[in-house]
Each structure stands twice: as C-alpha cells, then as structure tokens.
Structure 1
C-alpha cells in the first residue's frame, strides 16, 4: 500500500474515533447518570483513542516498531538544541493562541486550572508526559515514516495539519498546527522522535507549572487577581487584544534564534541534503513520490471542519 495513503487512513480513523466516541460516552453518561472526572477525561482519550489504535496499527501492518517510531538516541548537542527550540517557540505559540481566541473560545484553559489543584507530578504525567509520548508517536512517528516519499515541507505541513485536527477544536488547532510542522522538521533533522517528545513535554509541562503558580498566587492574593484573565477563558476580545503586544515583541526576538538553532541542528546532523533537490537523491534515494492529498486526508479535513462548525460556531 502507498505509505502516505496508509498514514492518512490512520489519521482518518483516529479523527472518526475522536468525533464519535465522545458523543457515545456523553450519551451514556447522560442516560446512566455518571460523570467523568477531570483525570478520566484525559486518560480516556490518551489511552483509549490513541494507544489502542497505535497497538492495532502495528499488529495489522506488522511494521517494525523501533524503526517506524524513530526510537534513536539523541546526543547531548541535539538535546540542548531541542530544549532551546522548545523554549524559544513558546512566544510564537502563545501569540497564535491569543489571536485564535479572538475568534474561537479557549476550550482547555478551564480544564487546566481545574487540574491545577492536583499535585504537580500528577499534572506532568497527565498533561505533559502522556501527550508527549502518544501524540508524537502518531504524528512524528507513524506519519513521518509513512510520509518518507513526500517532499519534506509538504509532509511537515500535513503532519502539522493532522496534529492540529487531532485536538478537535479550533483554538488548539491553530497553534498545534504550527507546533506540529516545526517538530516534524526537527525530527527529520535529528532522526529521533525523542527530540519532538522533549519539546512537547517542555511546552505542556511549562503550562502546568504556570497554572500551579497562578493557583498559588490566587490563594495568596485572593480576589485581587482576576482569575478569568489568568485562565484566558471568557475574556473579552479587547482584553485579549491588550495582551498581544508582549508575545508579539517576544516572537520577533525569539523567532530568528529558532532559525539559528535549526541551522545549527542541520549542520550538526549533516542533514543539508533534506533542503536541496538534486543531492538528496544521491545521499538518500527516494522512490516514486507519494501523493499526500488523497480522499482519506480530505475526508479528515471535512470531518474536522464540520465538527468545529457544529460544536463551536452553531452553538454561539
């Protein structure tokens, strides 16, 4: 089977699961009179919607796990470069997050600050460790190897698109798309999925640390702190716009540094050939190019857009 087609099929299956299964669970919860806890609301998607399909993927395709998922060692230079990139892309992601909130509701901020009441170690496992492993295995593991015969930039964009869609809401899609595209290219450069797992953990982990800090400040200063503003939920558009200058300025400062670190990563890993046309085939022969935009990818996009329209636009 065409590798890109196989990857797109897998994403379509995941999106169907994430679209339909929550509706079934919600229906059962309503009629059987039970309510999911904050912890179970995270564990069910992470374990049930991702881990089980991934296991079934390898059972059905019989692909080698280590080779497919790029479980290759990272040397200390790549670790430091990944940490630097992970920290320096934060302002860009924050800026995109804020801009998207002008048009779409932040669906997860309330959940994050509810979870912040749990111990930090549990938060890091639920929100940083599990997604950093599971989501990277899908989009920078399975998809990346299935897109091996696709132009790196097209593959990165589609991987980012898939990563964004798997979050199943417009706000998270916006910055997850950019983050996913960046991480895809980094894994192609380093040859190891551990580089994207590390950055994913850093980004989500810092969110949890900030949430815990905000809760701590709330306990100390009480009503003197606007909790809704910290959570960035139910905040007016004017308030959001007023917050934009800081991440905007920081993005202008940090983005050139991100490019420099990527350049350093390319040089360190000797992957210049990834970004030129002719020499690439001499170093890493590429077979017939796969068609990445097919009926499965298009179906995934249509389902995601329909989901956003029904769940976020029509309910306004």
Structure 2
C-alpha cells in the first residue's frame, strides 16, 4: 500500500471516529453526568488521539517528522500572529454569508456552553481544536499526501479539513482557512505555523463571548442580513491589503521548499474507495440533515 492510499484509509477511520465517538461515549453512564464542556473536550481528545496513536503503531513513522515539531523563528512567529488576526475578517464574511442559508453550528455550540467558565470554554473551543486538529490535519494528513506534490497535498488536506466540520455552513471558511494553514506549514516546515493562527482565530471568538458588552450586543435589534453582509464584506475588503502585506513579508523570509518528486516516475492518486466513503459520510451526516433549510 503506497503512502497516499495509507493516508486515505486513515482519513476514513478518522472520520468514522469523529462521527461515532460522541455517541459511544455518551452511552457510558458517568459521561452523561459531567458538564457538557468537559464531555465535549473528552470527545475531541478521543476522536483525534485514538486514530493518531493507531496510525503511528501501524506505520512506525517518526512523530516529530510527521507533526513537523520544529521551531518557527521569531520573524515567522510575529508574522504568523499577525496573520491570525488579519484573516479573520475574510473568514467572518464567509461564515456570515453561509449562515444566511444554513444554521451556524459553531454559534449553536457556543450557545450550548453558555454559563461555562471562560477557561473551560477556551480549552474546548480554542486550545484543544488548535492542537488536536492541526496535529491531525496539518500533521498526519499533509505529511501523508506529500507524494501527491505540494499543491495537491495542500488542496486535499484543506478539503478534508472542510469536510471534517460536517456541515455546509462551516465548510467554505474551513476549507479556505485550511488552504492557508497548509501553505504556512509547508513554507516554514513547522506545525506551529498553523497551530498559532488556529488558536488565535478560535480564542478571539471565545473572548468576544465574554466581553462585558457581549450580552448587550446579543440583545440589540440587528440590521437586515443584507446590511450585515455588506458590513462584513467591507471589513473583509479593508483587511486585504494588510493580509497581502503579511503574506508578502512571509514569502520573503520563507523561500520555496523542494517539492516531492517520485523517484520511479509513478504517480499516486488521491481519489480512492476510502475517500469516496468520506464523501459519502459528509453527504449523509453533513448535507442531508440541512437540506430543509434550502427549501
């Protein structure tokens, strides 16, 4: 089995764990009694760590190389932090646009955590996703698809990141952010290039939930969707020069790395039975439940 097929099979296992882990854990009586915030945290740890542990036992690969656990350097660190803030207006615009057609699952999750402490919410919504999802996607998946070539590996990993959110509202902005996260990791050779902005994006949303004026804003009479879409669109447009400047400086200090070239001239393919199964899972669990919102 070549490396891409191996990664595709891992992808299918990973998605299955993502879908069933919460339901299986909830069957345990003690899990039904703990606060939802900690139940959610445990589910995240289980659905990421169990498949990853099995992956390394199966492949016997070096975790440091797969995860790219290498330092960033102070210049990259500053640029990555700035990027984490600069990309948010674009993501906010995409998120609001899709929420006009489908329910905002992330907001529903945040509402379910109402009354939870700031630290608990930060752990569940920012710290755990930033580490676990990045180690899985920009670690195992991106490394596993390297024989497809750099750009195909970036696209396929970002696609799976979007599909993993299992709903049409989050897919566009997750795929969009996933492309950037993969690119940052490929250029720097460090997983911290995606963990840090992922954490900043999620943590910013958590902090906004706990600001003193957050409740007042929630109770305000909101403008129409058209006006809000215009506001978020203008914000996204204004952010483009700043995002472009950050990426320009980033490219200057991170030259192109050598792409993988098959020694025997053979090409590995992304599309296979496990990936079609992943598409099927997304159709069943991520699309069909939301069709009513379109009609």
**Other-structure match for 2:47:** 49
Instruction: Provide the rounded CA distance (Å) in 1 between the counterparts of 2:244 and 2:195.
Output: 19
Shift of 1:71: 0.2
Q: 1:10 to 1:256 in 2, by over 3 A?
A: farther
**Other-structure match for 2:203:** 205
Tell me the number of residue pairs that the alignment of Structure 1 and Structure 2 aligns: 292
Deviations 1:59-89 (A, max 9, x none): 1211101011000011011101111111111
Q: Does the aligned pair in 2 maintain the 1:12–1:296 contact within 8 Å?
A: yes
Q: 1:98 to 1:41 in 2, by over 3 A?
A: farther
Q: Does 1:89 align with 2:87?
A: yes
Q: Does 1:149 align with 2:139?
A: no
Deviations 1:78-107 (A, max 9, x none): 101111111111011101101111111112
Q: Does the aligned pair in 2 maintain the 1:164–1:172 contact within 8 Å?
A: yes
Instruction: Provide the rounded CA distance (Å) in 2 between the counterparts of 1:259 and 1:160.
Output: 20
SS at structure 2 position matched to 1:118: coil
Q: 1:253 to 1:105 in 2, by over 3 A?
A: same
Q: Does 1:266 align with 2:244?
A: no
Q: Does the aligned pair in 2 maintain the 1:92–1:251 contact within 8 Å?
A: yes
**Other-structure match for 1:63:** 61
Q: Does the aligned pair in 1 maintain the 2:12–2:277 contact within 8 Å?
A: yes
Q: Aligned-residue CA RMSD in angstroms?
A: 2.7
* Greater CA drift, 113-122 or 180-189: 113-122
Shift of 1:149: 1.7
Shift of 1:155: 1.7
Instruction: Provide the rounded CA distance (Å) in 2 between the counterparts of 1:286 and 1:262.
Output: 30
**Other-structure match for 2:189:** 191
Shift of 1:23: 4.4
Instruction: Provide the rounded CA distance (Å) in 2 between the counterparts of 1:72 and 1:132.
Output: 16
**Other-structure match for 2:213:** 217
**Other-structure match for 1:18:** 18
TM-score, normalised with respect to structure 1: 0.83
Instruction: Provide the rounded CA distance (Å) in 2 between the counterparts of 1:64 and 1:127.
Output: 29
**Other-structure match for 1:234:** none
Q: Does the aligned pair in 2 maintain the 1:159–1:184 contact within 8 Å?
A: yes
Instruction: Provide the rounded CA distance (Å) in 2 between the counterparts of 1:146 and 1:229.
Output: 48
Q: 1:16 to 1:33 in 2, by over 3 A?
A: closer
Instruction: Provide the rounded CA distance (Å) in 1 between the counterparts of 2:147 and 2:244.
Output: 25
5+ residue gaps, structure 2: none
5+ residue gaps, structure 1: 231-237, 275-279
Instruction: Provide the rounded CA distance (Å) in 2 between the counterparts of 1:117 and 1:211.
Output: 11
Deviations 1:96-120 (A, max 9, x none): 1011111111123133144353332
Instruction: Provide the rounded CA distance (Å) in 1 between the counterparts of 2:34 and 2:105.
Output: 17
